[in-house]
Amino acid sequence: MYPKEPVTIVEVGPRDGLQYEPDFFPTAEKIELINLLSKTGLRRLEVTSFVHPKVIPQFRDAMEVASNLKMVEGIIYSAPVPNVKGCERALETPIQELALFVSASETHNRKNVNMSIDESLAALRQVADMGLKAGKRLRGYVVTAFGCPYEGRVPIDGVLRIIRAYAEMGVSEVSLGDTTGMANPRQVVEVFETVLEVAEGTAVAAHFHNSRGTGLANALAAYQAGIRIFDSSVGGIGGCPTAIGAMGNIATEDLVCMMEEMDVPTGVDFDKLLKAARFAQEVIGSELPSYTLKTGRPNWKGAGGTDLG
């Protein structure tokens, strides 16, 4: 029930985290945060987004950020691209992976990108083709995969349809997003067991938000269901500007702490990760929701209390 197979963590704080911040996170500080994260042992970093600046002003500096990072060998640097124009901009930078995104909810997809699901998939086929021709990796997000604030429960058939469409485009990995934290552990197991049966050669990742305090419980359920790739955000920052009730992603340091305490290797240096989280908190100027940013990892040598064992 509790295997000890290593997990890969995809750090999404510089993108999914900062897009929700009301104040602009300065460009130099964005670059410094990403460079700090590059020193932690993380091997996957989502660093910006090539959406139109009028849609998410936080990323009006996407080109500058992506072009001025101290890229570390062995780390994959990624960014979402919503359309052909965004892809063209991304291809002018050293970014190695392009992330596509479609909502499994028709209503949310229209609010997010002003297109139907069919229209989004048709447009992304051209983006995927551009990326593959340029030698880029492709990652695909299935947004609101577990529930939608506008439509409620999302049928699994809609999720599988998008995964199959991604596979046809050449996407090598899909990430199922609990965009507003509506999922529960039982549902998570059921969804991922079904997805893993049909995903075949496509890697599958989990992307949880902690809107209702179930983020880590859902991550553990996903791990037990066979998922070994997890998205998380330094400090727990993040959300979705077009989804009612969206709150922060699970904090990377909380996820690392839980996994490592269970003897599940993450390859991440916890102390260096906390340094990056403290830096993000300092720049944002308010307390972040991360638990271990406040408490650190358990100090078993100095633990007190009564031994009930």
Residue 24 class from Cβ within 10 Å (0-12 exposed, 13-18 middle, 19+ buried)? middle
Query: For this structure, is 240 an active site residue?
Result: yes
Catalytic residue, candidates 87, 148, 240, 257: 240
Answer whether 136's CB lies under 8 Å from 143's CB.
no
Supply 128's token pair.
């995927």
Please give the backbone phi and psi of residue 69, each rounded to the nearest 5 degrees, phi first: -80, 150
Q: How far apart are CA 162 and CA 149, in angstroms?
A: 19
Please enumerate, as own/partner, the contacts of 72-75 that have beta carbons within 8 Å and a separation of 24 or more.
Answer: 72/38, 72/39, 74/43, 75/38, 75/42, 75/43, 75/44, 75/45
> Which residue reads 């037990």 in tokens?
224
Which residues 6+ apart lie within 8 Å of 134 measured at CB? 91
- Catalytic positions are 240
